[in-house]
Amino acid sequence: MAAETNPKRCKTDVCQLKLRSQELTGDASLDGADPEWLRRTGSRAQLYAAGYSKEDFAKPIITVASPYMSIHMCNQKFRELADVVGAEIEEMGMKAFVSHQPVISDGQTMGTSGMRYSLPSRDLIADCIETMHEGYRADGLVVLSGCDKTHAGVLMPILRYNQVGIVVYGGTGRSGEHNGEKLSAGTPFEGLGKFSKGLIDLEDLNKLECNSCPGVGTCSGMYTANTMSTCLEALGMMLPGTSCDPAAQEDFRTINPKIIQSCKASARALQTLMEHRITARQICTREAFENAITVLMALGGSTNGVLHLIALAREAEVSLDVHDFNTIGDRVPYIGNLAPSGKYNVMDLAPVGGLPAVMRALLDAGLLHGECLTVTGKTVAENLAHVAPPASTQDVVYPVDKPISPAGRHIRILKCSASSAMRKPQGSLCPGGAVIKLSGKDIPSHRGPARCYDDEKAAYEAIMAGKIKAGDCLIIRYQGPAGGPGMPEMLSPGSALVGAGLGKSVPLITDGRFSGASHGIMIGHVVPEAHRGGPLALVEDGDMVSYSLASLELNIEVSPETLEQRRQNYTLRAPPCPERSWLGRYSKHVASASEGRSLGRTPTPTGLVNMRESCEWQWGACGCPEQEAHQLDAALLLRAARVDVQITFVIQVQMRLSCHDYQNDKHGPEASTAGLDPSNHDPCHALPPFHSSCTNYINIFIKLLCVCVCVCVCVCVCVCVCVCVCVCVCVCVCVCGENVFYTHRDTCDHQKMRTGTAAAAVAVVAALYYMAFEWPRVKFPVHTSGAVIVTGASTGIGFSTARFLAERSDFVVYAGVRSNKAADRITSQGLSNLKPVLLDVTSDESVQAAVQAVVDDGHPLVGLINNAGISIQRPVEMATLADFQRVMDVNLYGVLRMVQATGEQLRAHQGRIINIGSIVGLIASASAQPYGASKFALESVTHSLREDMQQFNVSVSMINPGAIKTDLGGKIETSFEQLPSETAHLEAVYGKLMTSVRALAAKAFRLGAEPEDVAIDVMHALTAPYPRTRYVNGNALEAPAWVATGIAWFFPQRLASLLGNPIALAENL
C-alpha cells in the first residue's frame, strides 16, 4: 500500500535527467514510505496547488529565466517568448518554471539619475536567476536575453555554478527610416546636437524621434545588445544563426516566426546538453572567449563588450584581462560595415548568411579556434562545415583579406608605458588602462586643454551652450563603477559632440562608459576612477592633456610638484546615494572597469594615486623579479596548510608591499622622480599608497599569524624536551638504581651517573635527529592505473570524488550506489572509466558481490575509498540504541566489511585505503550523536589498520572534512524533525539547543567548501608516493582541526606519528 502513494515511475528517458530537483520534490524512485520521500510531503502539497500532478514529481525541472518589462522595447515580448519555451519543455516531458527578472533600458534612462542603475542591473539579474534556480534546485536553464546587460546577466549565474544551460536571443530591432536614410537608436541623440547648431529644425528633430525605433527588438545597430548576442553565439552558448534575426515581422509588433522557432530549438538543444552533461564551463573556455573577442573586433562591436566578457570570464574562472583585447585585436581586421560607424544594421547580416557566414570567413583565415565546443554538442568547425562565407558581391561584410581597415584598428586599450612613466613632466591618466573605440578610423594624436566636469548633465549643457571648442579635451569624471555609482553611459554628451560637428576634434575622456551607439573620439573606462583616487581627480581646467594611439598613452602635462600640491589639498567625494541603498552597497563592493566591473571581488583600494609611481594598478602586476613565483609558492604553501583564501589574499598584498620595498632598495628612494636609464628601470615598480590603517591591519594580521606559528613550534619543541628528560631519568634509574633520587653522597657512584646521563642525552638527541632528518620517510608504491572502489557514490562527496578521479586519472573507478537511478546518473556522466556497481555496505552479500564483480572485470584493485555514511545527530539523551545501531552499521561496520572483503586484493597489489571521517571524529560537539561516536570509532579503526597494513606496503589515510556543501546539512536539521516516539517528549527540553545547532549547521554548510576539495585530497592520498596519514578540509571548521592535529604540520610524518604514539617511540628508541 505504501508504494501506491508514490507517483508513477517515469517511463521516458527524459526523466533520467532529474539530477537535482529531487531535493525539491523527493526522489520518485524511492518507496512511498521511505523517510526521504516522506520528508518532502509539505513541498509537494504546495506544488499540487501550483498545478503539479503525481506524474510531474518524476520529471526534471527547467528554469526559464526572462528579464522582462512591459515598456522596454528590447524585452517587451519576453513574457510571450518565455511561455513558448515553457510549452516546448512541457511537451518534451519536463517541467518548466518561469521567473522574470528586472531590467533597465539604457536608452530610456540615458542622461537621468536612473541611468546609474543600468549596469548594476546586470549583476542583479544574475543574482535573481541564481536565487531562483538554486533555490528550487532545478536541473537546467533556458535564459532569454535582449537588452545589452541581460546577455551577460543571464549567462553569469550559469557559469558561476557551471550549470547546463542555453541562451536565447529575443531578436534585434528593425531599422527606422526618414527621407530614405536608415535610422537607429543613436540617431535622436545626435539629432539634438545638430539641432543645437541649427543644422536641422524642430520638425526634423520630431521626425527622428518618432521614426528611429519603429518597433520591438534591441537597438538595430552593432550596439551593445547586438555586440553581445554575436559574442555569445561565437562563445558557443547560443544556437548558430540566432544572433541576427529581427525580433518582429515587418509590422514591427508581431513576433518573428524565426524567434519562435529559435525558442523551441533551444529548448530541445537543452535536453541534448543535459543528456551528455555538457556544462557551461566545458563550452566557455579561454579559446571560446578568444573567439568571442575576435568576432567583436571583426564586426566593430561596443566597448561594453570588454566589461561584459571579462565579467563572464571571471564567472567561468577563465583568465582574461583588458590587455588581451589588444593582443587579439592586433591580429583581427575590421570587416563589419555596421552602424554606428557603417551604413548597415545588424538585421542586414541575416541575408548574407548571418554570423555563421562571418565566422566561417574568420575560421578560414585562421582567426578562430575551431575545436571549441558549442551548445549543439558539436564544435565550431563542425557547425560551420557546410556554411559558406559571405559572397564577394555584397558590402555588409568585407572579405578578411580586403577589410575596411587592417588589424588593430577597432577597440584599443590605452595603458601606461615606459616612455610615459619616464618622460617629464608627464604622468599617466590611466595607470590601470582605458578603452578607445576606433572602428577603423584614423584618429591622430591630440594635445589640448582640459575642460573638466564632475557630472554628465553639466557637460551636456556646456556642449549645447557652445562652451566646448575644437581642440579641447572634455573630461567627465566621477562616473565610474563606484563613483557614479553604476558607471552610466555618456551617450548624451558624446552624441551632442558629434551632432555639433566636434566629433573629430574633441576627445571625450571619462571613467564612465559609452553606449554602443557612441562614435567619435571616445575614451572611457579610465582606471583607477576618480572616486577611488585616480589621476583623473587631479586634472584642472586648462591642464594640457594628450593621447597617442601609436604608443597607446593618455597623459597629463603637469609638473610633479603641482600634482603633489593638488594631492595634498584633495578631498574624496562621497557617492550621491545612501550607503544602505542598493547603489550604496554596489559602490562599496564593485571592482574596477578593467576587472569587468563585477561584484563579489575585492575592490581596488581608495586613495589618491601617485602618478609618477603607479603604472600597473592591478594586484599581482609588480615589477620585482620572481614576484609571481613567490605568490604561487605562498599559495601552494597555504593550500598545503589548509589556510583560507582570504589569508592567501592578505599574504599577496603583503608581498606587494615587500615588492615595493624591493624596488626602492634596488633603485633608491629617488627612483620615482630622478632620471633613470629607461632600459634599466621598470616603470611599474611602485604601488599606489594604501591608507595607513589598511597597511597597519595587514601588518598586524601577518604578525599574529607568525606568532601563532611560533607558538605551535615552541609547543612541539617542549614536547620533544619533555621526552628527552623522561628518557634521561629512565637511563639514570637503570644505571644507579632507585638511589638516584636520594641526596646522600655515598649512595651512588656520581661518576657513573654522570656518564650514564651523558650517554642517555647523546642517545636521545641522536635518535631524535635521526628520526627527524635521516629516517627514511614512509614511501608507498605509486599506482597510475587499476581499479578503485568508492562507496556511497550516489551523491555528495562520493559522487564528486568518483567523477573527479575518472576525469583526472587513468583509474577505472567503480562508484558504489544503492539504486538503479543512481547507477544511471553515474553512467550519464559519459566517462568510460567511471562504472556504477550496486553496493549496500550494510549487507555482507552485497559487499562480497560488488567486490567480486570488480575483480572479475580484470583490473587490479589498488584503491578503496570508504565514503558511505549516514548522519543522525541529536543530544545523547535523545539518541536511541536503534539510532546508534543504524549509524554504526553504515559508518563503522560498513568500513569493516569493505576492508575485510578487499584486504586480500589490496595486500596483493600494495594498494591504498582512504577512510572519509569527519571533523566531529576529532572534536566532540553538542548534539552530534550517534554520528560523532561512529566517526571517533572510525579514527581508532583507521589508526590500527594503518599499523596493521604498513608491513604490506598498503597505505591507510584518514580524511576529516569539515563543512562541505552537500545535502548533509539539511539532514542534520531534519534529524531533529524525525525523533523516535520514545524520545519525542524531550524535544521541548532540548529546544533551545536544537535551534542553535540548526542555525550553526545552516551557516557552516552554507560557508563550507565544495565536494571537489575532498576529491583533491583523495587523489593525493591515492597517488602520492608519500601520502599523509590525515587530511583536513572544509573551510568552516578547519581551525579546531589544526589544534587537534597541529603536530603533523611542523614535524616530518614519521616523527609526528611516533610523538603521538609513546609505545612506538619507546620501541624505536
d(CA 373, CA 377) in angstroms, rounded, equals: 7
Name the DSSP class of 212: S
Contact 1058, 1047 (CB under 8 A): no
Contact 446, 507 (CB under 8 A): yes
pLDDT tens digits for 887-919?
999 999 999 999 999 999 999 999 999 999 988
pLDDT of residue 992: 59
Domain 411-593 has CATH 2.60.120.10: no
Determine how many CB atoms are found less than 10 A away from the CB of residue 44.
18
Specify the pTM: 0.59
Nearest to 153 by CA among 121, 118, 117, 122: 122
Cell output for 743: 641526596
Residue 780 to residues 786, 950, 951, 1025, 1069: CA-CA distances in angstroms? Answer: 16, 9, 11, 5, 24
Torsion 535-540-541-545 (CA) sign: negative
Contact 731, 759 (CB under 8 A): yes
Contact 294, 329 (CB under 8 A): no
Confidence of residue 357 (pLDDT cuts 50, 70, 90): very high
Section 137-141 average pLDDT: 96
pLDDT tens digits for 222-235?
999 999 999 999 99
pLDDT of residue 666: 36
Q: Residue 734: pLDDT above 70?
A: no
β-strand pairing of 522-527 with 411-414: unpaired
Contact 397, 336 (CB under 8 A): yes
Range from 3-12, 74-83, 104-113, 395-404 carrying the lowest mean pLDDT: 3-12
Helix, strand, coil percentages, rounded to 5, for the chain:
50, 15, 40
Q: Residue 748: pLDDT above 50?
A: no
Q: Which residues of 306-332 are buried (b: 16+ CB within 10 A; e: fewer)?
A: bbbbbbbbbbbebebbbebbbebbeeb
Give domain 787-1068's CATH number out of 1.10.20.10, 3.30.70.580, 3.40.50.300, 3.40.50.720: 3.40.50.720
d(CA 745, CA 852) in angstroms, rounded, equals: 73
d(CA 781, CA 775) in angstroms, rounded, equals: 18
Domain assignments of the chain as residue spans, ordered by start = 60-175+214-407, 176-213, 411-593, 787-1068
Section 199-212 average pLDDT: 88
Residue 141 pairs in a beta bridge with: 63, 165
Section 368-390 average pLDDT: 97
Q: Which of 121, 515, 614, 794 is catalytic?
A: 515
pLDDT tens digits for 643-658?
333 333 333 333 333 3
Q: Residue 160: pLDDT above 80?
A: yes
The phi, psi pair for 653, rounded to 5°, reads: -60, -45
CA 578, 581, 582: angle at the middle one, nearest 5? 140
pLDDT of residue 1003: 55
- DSSP helix/strand/coil, 474: strand
Question: Cis ω on the peptide bond leading into residue 425 (within 30° of 0)?
Answer: yes
Cell output for 750: 656520581
pLDDT tens digits for 254-264?
999 999 999 99
Section 435-461 average pLDDT: 91
- Name the CA radius of gyration of the chain, rounded: 34
Contact 95, 56 (CB under 8 A): yes
d(CA 306, CA 325) in angstroms, rounded, equals: 8
pLDDT tens digits for 925-934?
676 778 889 9
Contact 960, 1042 (CB under 8 A): no
Section 436-442 average pLDDT: 85
Determine how many CB atoms are found less than 10 A away from the CB of residue 438.
21
pLDDT of residue 768: 59
Whether the domain at 411-593 and the domain at 787-1068 fall into the same CATH topology: no
**Which residue is associated with the grid cell 545552516?**
1002
Residue 105 to residues 77, 110, 181, 225: CA-CA distances in angstroms? Answer: 14, 8, 25, 11
- What mean pLDDT, rounded, does the chain reach? 79
Amino acid, single-letter form, for residue 886? R
Q: Residue 616: pLDDT above 60?
A: no
pLDDT of residue 597: 55
Q: Is 809 a catalytic residue?
A: no
The more confidently predicted of residues 36 and 397 is 397
Contact 4, 33 (CB under 8 A): no
Q: Residue 80: pLDDT above 90?
A: yes
The phi, psi pair for 1032, rounded to 5°, reads: -125, 130
Q: Could you tell me which CATH number the domain at 60-175+214-407 has?
A: 3.40.50.2300
**Which parts of 966-1054 are beta strand (E)?**
1030-1033
pLDDT of residue 776: 43
pLDDT of residue 598: 67
The more confidently predicted of residues 738 and 411 is 411
d(CA 34, CA 379) in angstroms, rounded, equals: 44
Q: Residue 1031: pLDDT above 60?
A: yes
Residue 65 pairs in a beta bridge with: 99, 143
Range from 137-141, 566-570, 685-689 carrying the lowest mean pLDDT: 685-689
Q: What is the strand order of the sheet 446-453 is part of? A: 411-414, 433-437, 522-527, 508-510, 473-476, 446-453, 544-548, 553-557, 426-428
Confidence of residue 509 (pLDDT cuts 50, 70, 90): very high
